[in-house]
Amino acid sequence: MAIRINLGYIDELNKYGAEDVQLCYQCGDCSTVCVHSDDIFNFPRKSMRRLQMGLERKIETTLEPWLCYYCGQCSDQCPREADPGETMMSLRRWLIARYDFTGIASRFFRSSATEVIAILAVALITGLFLFIYGKAGGSISIYDGEGAFLPSSFIHFFDLAIGSVLAVFLLINAYRMWHLTMNKGVSVRISPWLYLKHIFTFPLHFFTQKRYAQCESKNRNFIFMPWITHLGLMLGYVTMLVLVMVFIEELQHGPEIIWQVHLFAYAASLGLIIGTIYFIRSRLRKTAYVQFKKSHSTDWVFVILLFLIVITGIGQHILHRTGYYEAANITYILHLMCVVPWLLRMPFSKWAHLLYRPLAMYFAAIQKDALKKQLRLSEDHMITVK
Amino acid sequence: MENCRTGVYICMCGTNIAKVIDVEAVREFVSGLPDVMLVRTYKYMCSNPGQEMIVQDIRENNLNRIVVAACSPCMHERTFRSALRKAGINQYLFEMANIREQCSWVHHDQQDATEKAMALTQAAIRRVALHEPLENLSVDMSPATLVIGGGIAGMTAALELAEAGYPVYLVEKTGRLGGNLARVDLTAPYLYSAQDLINERIFRINDNNHIYLHLNSKVTELSGFVGNYTATIETIPVENGHKKEEVKVGNVIVCTGYKEFDASRITHYGYGKLPNVVTSFELETMIRSGKIETREGRIPRYIAIIHCVGSRSLEFHGYCSRVCCMTALKYAHEVKSAIPSCYVSDIYVDMHAFGKGHEDFYRRSSEAKTLFLMYNKNDRPVIRRADEKDDCQMLIEVNECLSGETIEIPADLIVLMVGMEAREDASEVAHLVNISQDKEGWFIESHPKLEPVATTTDGIFIAGTCVAPKDIPDTVAQARATAARILAKVSQGKIEVDALYSEINKEICSGCRLCNKLCPFSAIEFNEKEAYSEVISALCKACGVCVAACPSSAIKGRHFTDAQVMAQLDGLLSPVKYQIEAVTS
């Protein structure tokens, strides 16, 4: 059955950052140079072609864009400057929008104004709400304990509420991803046993990002190689997320320092501050690695917002410990004004790849296993037919 | 008979000859033959030292016959003849034995090959003894040129010659100049206007009083030979009478161009049945009129261009028509600039972007988001009408090679890139000017690389797309090349013709006129008054047909006399013996 091509798709993907894909003439250099491209998941060449032709059904059901870590070798190698690396990135953005059932992600990716306005609105509502709440129950000059402006127990409850909303969105979208890639996207039957067999792939890739390390074989700078910075940023972020969701009361408690909790918080903060500064600097200079040469508006929102979160977080902590309680409370509100839109934005932004990418690795391992079995079967079959 | 002093030179041609033939054994054998004064072997006889050696030997040893056993005379006969001239003896006292193409290149066995080389050399030695000194002929060269075809090639060649001050008869079958190029809007890849290219030339032609322009005319007869042709130009009969003119010309340039492939021959493209399937020339007409639209008058949202229509398929023409790829890219540009919202699909076999500026043009078409889709030349796209619910008129089903997918391409207007074909009257023209055609009907050049505009008939030149499909720069270059070739000859006023021709002994000739009819070059005329036949030596190509046919043996082929041929045969058939020496270790 012939598939209708969609000639307008390339214009649509342009909004997601695929600016040069039309230049690709399918030489395949990109797939040759990519360490992750193999017989079953052959990219970026095929992805480039599907994008050019607008084969949406094929793209939305593939895991391939998630298997790319954007080391940029393909873009360095491309004889037509078609930028396969950025094309894969734009496909990931499009997939995030495609998995998202609310349609918010697609609006954010296609219009930076919409995203900024939404973030500002959520920030203002949060700020207003917390200020009114603080005024009603406490004093702005008390940071912690009796009569505190923003008591830690309340913040804990508040965090968990936001976290639950986030989790609901993420889980629904993850289910949609599973449905598209594992249900619609595979021709072979996948036995439930395979899901169990490969279950550890998910945490493995989540915590180590070891496939990104494989991209690095040809990189020269060890300290600032993208894998380390990327992993550092991610681990810092996840540590912080756990601390905020579970240990917020210990974290906020003062004035003594609870090292069991704070040590992690300091380490995570350090990781985040170094990571965000490095990313902002690289994106501004456009020099370090290929992936920093082009920045989508959502990339800027991502790093700037995260940077603000870290700065205000550290700020309120220092102000609290040094006794400027009023300033600490105001900085804390500013901090939360960044944190809440940040968390709520997560399922609709690039940050969702925190979940989608390791999930894709897991699904890909299962698909490969299933396909290999089928291939082996058909080879045997061919032998007997002969 | 004079005393023959023959020098024999055996060439090794590097290892081309020496690796199969034992040249030293040939030298030894030859040195024992009668009349042979001197035998040498040498690495490369055609080299300057090789030729110098011959000149030196002739002078020092009073040699009066030379045999070179080397390659084909087509390759180096001229070279060695000039060495003889340099040494001061007649250039026809020379013979070549071909021991490369006819021996070392086609045999493996050393014994057989060496024996054959001995026989060939011996034949040449026997023949050269009977050679006579001959002088080349010099004939007048008419300064006028006949140019058949008024397209870009014909106009360019005519202007080139006329501007050098020589008369040109430019004959065009239709009522206007410009040929196929006049049907085109812009040209790839620099988007110059075709009209501008042509108009500038038409003005110059009209202004030039050396050019005699014959529109609506045909050349109906051509007789004569290089330097002295007579052409009959007739107007194509119309109501306002019929004119006939005879002109004398020295050379003829044929640039009759091409015709486009008839797209309705590929039935499943539906050309002629589906209203919005058009040929590239029909799209040109639309573009020139300033409106790209469907037959229903709507602005197309999707335009698909299909390449290689009639080209590169064994069913129609196996060759590539060379200009369609770039023309298709040009359409993509023109469509995008006329209708920016229109999507262009370019369905191709291979993108041939070989020329200057072409690859860049291809890249710019990609930048403009032309979607390039590749099909296999043996698996053509299929066009069908779209359904009511579709947002397009037609759908093209293609097995797309780069993605491996079977896809459907939406289209409101489909452009078929029709290839180039030899014109149906090409064989008539070929017959008229006595040149040959290949199996596709294109005129054949005398050497595809070294003589691309000359033909096997002296004084007849070919240029442009009547030779093979080509683009405008190549056509113009060829047209100018023909003019340069002709100018080099007419500027001398005379032309030298080989001394090889037949002679009729009028005492013996019975006047049967058998040879008159047989001569393929119409070089024999009958002298009614004295009742014998005579040869027009400048026309004679020395083919020898008349010599063989003459029942009275009255005709002699100069340089191919019976005695010479018989001596050569004797030499060839006399026994030779070569024993490979046992290898002593």
Confirm or reject CATH 3.40.630.10 for domain B145-257+423-494, answering yes or no: no
* B585: confidence class by pLDDT, cuts 50, 70, 90: very low
Q: What rounded mean pLDDT belongs to chain A? A: 89
B404 Ramachandran zone, left/alpha/beta (phi>0; psi -120 to 50): left
Residue B539 has a pLDDT of 79
Reported as type and span, the H/E element at residue B11 is strand B6-11
A2 near B CB under 8 A? yes
Whole-number Å distance between alpha carbons of B41 and B284: 65
* Residue A363 tokens, joined: 């699904």
pTM for this one?
0.82
Nearest residue in chain B measured CA to CA from A11: B369
Number of Cβ within 10 Å of residue A96's Cβ equals 26
CATH architecture of B263-419: 3-Layer(bba) Sandwich (3.50)
**In 3D, which of A120, A96, A164 has the Cα closest to residue A104?**
A96
Mean pLDDT of chain B: 94
| Residue B266 CB neighbour total at 10 angstroms | 19
Interface test with B, best of A22, A78, A87 (most B CBs within 10 A): A22
User: What pLDDT, on a 0 to 100 scale, did the predictor assign at position B582?
Assistant: 59
B400 in A contact zone (CB under 8 Å)? yes
3-state helix, strand, coil in chain B (%, to 5): 30, 25, 45
Cα nearest neighbour of A1 on chain B: B406
Cβ pair A46:B403 closer than 8 A? yes
Determine the residue among B401, B402, B406, B413 to mutate to test chain A binding: the one whose Cβ has the most chain A Cβ atoms within 10 Å.
B402
Domain edges within chain A? 9-99, 104-368
Measured between CA atoms, the residue of chain B closest to residue A14 is B369
DSSP B547: H
**B363: contact with A, CB 8 A cutoff:** yes
Q: Which fold has domain B502-558?
A: Alpha-Beta Plaits (3.30.70)
Question: Facing residues of B454 across strands?
Answer: B461
Residue-wise pLDDT for B495-526, tens only, equals 888 889 999 999 999 999 999 999 988 889 99
Is B405 touching A (CB cutoff 8 A)?
Answer: yes
Measured between beta carbons, the chain B residues lying within 8 angstroms of A87 are: none
Q: How much is the average pLDDT of B189-193? A: 94
Which residues of B fall within a CB distance of 8 Å from A55? Answer: 403, 405, 407
Token couple for A106 = 């697609």
- A44: preceding bond cis by omega (within 30 degrees): yes
Task: For residues A380 and B398, give the distance between their C-alpha atoms in angstroms, rounded to a whole number.
Answer: 32
**For residue A295, what pLDDT is reported?**
87
For the cut 70, the answer to whether the pLDDT of residue B39 exceeds it is: yes
Domain covering B6-134 assigned CATH 3.30.70 in the classification? no
Residue A20 has pLDDT above 70, yes or no: yes
Instruction: Convert the pLDDT of each residue in A262-310 to its tens digit.
Output: 899 999 999 899 888 888 888 888 766 677 778 888 889 998 999 999 9
Question: Which of A3, A6, A7 to mutate to test binding with chain B, by most B CBs within 10 Å of its CB?
Answer: A7
Arithmetic mean of pLDDT, B8-29? 95
What would the mean pLDDT of A134-144 be, rounded to a whole number? 85
Compare all CA atoms of chain A with the CA of B390 and give the residue at the minimum distance: A4
For chain B, the domains span: 6-134, 145-257+423-494, 263-419, 502-558
Specify the pairing of strand B217-225 against strand B211-214.
Answer: unpaired
The arithmetic mean of pLDDT across residues B224-231, rounded, is: 91
Residues 23..82 of A with a Cβ closer than 8 Å to B: which? 23-26, 46, 49-50, 52-53, 55, 58, 80
Strands B244-249 and B228-235 come out as: antiparallel
Class of residue B575 by CB neighbours under 10 A (exposed 0-12, middle 13-18, buried 19+):
exposed
Question: Percent of chain A beyond pLDDT 90?
Answer: 60
Q: How confident is the model at residue B188 (pLDDT cuts 50, 70, 90)?
A: very high
Q: Do B343 and A8 touch (CB under 8 A)?
A: yes
Query: Distance, in angstroms, between A7 CA and closest chain B CA?
Result: 7
Q: Are B103 and B44 in contact (CB under 8 A)?
A: no
Note whether B371 contacts A5, CB cutoff 8 Å.
yes
Among the partner-chain residues B302, B368, B402, the one whose CB lies closest to the CB of A49 is B402
Sheet holding B371-374, edge to edge: B277-279, B413-418, B302-309, B343-348, B371-374
Residue B386 dihedral angles phi and psi, to the nearest 5°: -80, 165
Classify burial at A47, counting beta carbons within 10 Å of its beta carbon; exposed 0-12, middle 13-18, buried 19 or more: buried
Q: Which of A45, A51, A53, A57 to mutate to test the interface with B (most CBs of B within 10 A)?
A: A53
* pLDDT tens-digit series, residues A24-70: 999 999 999 999 998 888 899 999 999 999 999 999 999 999 999 88
Cα atoms in the Cβ-side hemisphere of radius 13 Å centred on B325: 23
Q: Cβ of B403 under 8 Å from any chain A Cβ?
A: yes
How far is C-alpha A314 from the chain's CA centre?
A: 23
Do B263-419 and B145-257+423-494 have the same topology in CATH? yes
Contacts 24+ apart (CB under 8 A), B573-577: B573/B119, B574/B119, B574/B122, B576/B29, B576/B115, B576/B118, B576/B119, B576/B122, B577/B115
Give the type of residue at A132: I
Written as six digits, the tokens of B576 are 């030779």
Mind listing the pLDDT tens digit for each residue in A168-177? 999 999 999 9
User: pLDDT tens for residues B352-410?
Assistant: 999 999 999 999 999 999 999 999 999 999 999 999 999 999 999 999 999 999 999 99
B406 to chain A, any CB pair closer than 8 A? The answer is: yes
Q: Which residue of B has its CA nearest to A43?
A: B403
The DSSP result for A230-272, as a single string, is HHHHHHHHHHHHHHHHHSHHHHH--SS--HHHHHHHHHHHHHH
pLDDT, one tens digit per residue, over B423-477 is 999 999 999 998 999 999 999 998 889 899 999 888 999 999 999 999 999 999 9
- Provide the pLDDT for residue A384: 40
Please give the Cα distance from B211 to A240 (Å, whole number): 91
Searching chain A, which residue's CA lies closest to the CA of residue B343?
A7
Residue A187's pLDDT band (cuts 50, 70, 90) = confident
Average pLDDT over residues B284-299: 94
pLDDT digits 0-9 by tens, A144-162: 877 888 888 899 999 999 9
Residue pairs between chains A and B whose CB atoms are closer than 8 Å: 59
pLDDT for residue B495: 87
Chain B residues whose CB is inside 8 A of the A25 CB are 351, 366, 372
